[in-house]
Amino acid sequence: NAGVTQTPKFQVLKTGQSMTLQCAQDMNHEYMSWYRQDPGMGLRLIHYSVGAGITDQGEVPNGYNVSRSTTEDFPLRLLSAAPSQTSVYFCASSSTPGQFQETQYFGPGTRLLVL
């Protein structure tokens, strides 16, 4: 198993540009989530999904969209990038059903710089 994969590893955007961060898992996990990691602030939950077709907002959802058309994939979309979205983004998945998660498995991260 590859586990949780994320592409790209690095990305530079200009303010106002759009992009999609890709996340895929091959563990047949129902729960998937997106976090951003900023210095001194830990990991903050952006959006999560408890199964295909179901998504919900986390702590910091503004400026981001998600969809979950398949169990395997959970892309994160930035419609109009802003410098405040410069961060490292992690995708995670878990086999625990529902909203309250036990062990989450994280991808290697995408480092995003918005100029």
Binding site for another protein (CB under 8 A): 4, 33, 35, 40-45, 48, 58-59, 90, 92, 100-109
CB of 17 to another protein, least distance (A): 25
Q: How many angstroms separate the CA atoms of 94 and 6, rounded?
A: 16
CB nearer another protein, residue 68 or residue 109: 109
E strands present in the chain: 4-7, 10-13, 19-25, 31-38, 42-51, 54-57, 64-66, 76-78, 87-94, 105-106, 110-114
For another protein, give the closer residue by CB, 3 or 83.
3
Q: How far apart are CA 3 and CA 63, in angstroms?
A: 27
Nearest approach in angstroms of CB 29 to another protein is 14
Shortest distance (Å) from residue 59 CB to another protein: 7
Q: Provide, rounded to whole angstroms, the least separation between the CB of residue 45 and another protein.
A: 5
Nearest residue (CB) to another protein, 2 versus 100: 100
Q: Identify any residues that bridge with 78 across adjacent strands, giving them in sequence order.
A: 19, 64
Nearer to another protein, 13 or 31 (CB): 31
Closest CA to 91 of 26, 1, 17, 41: 26
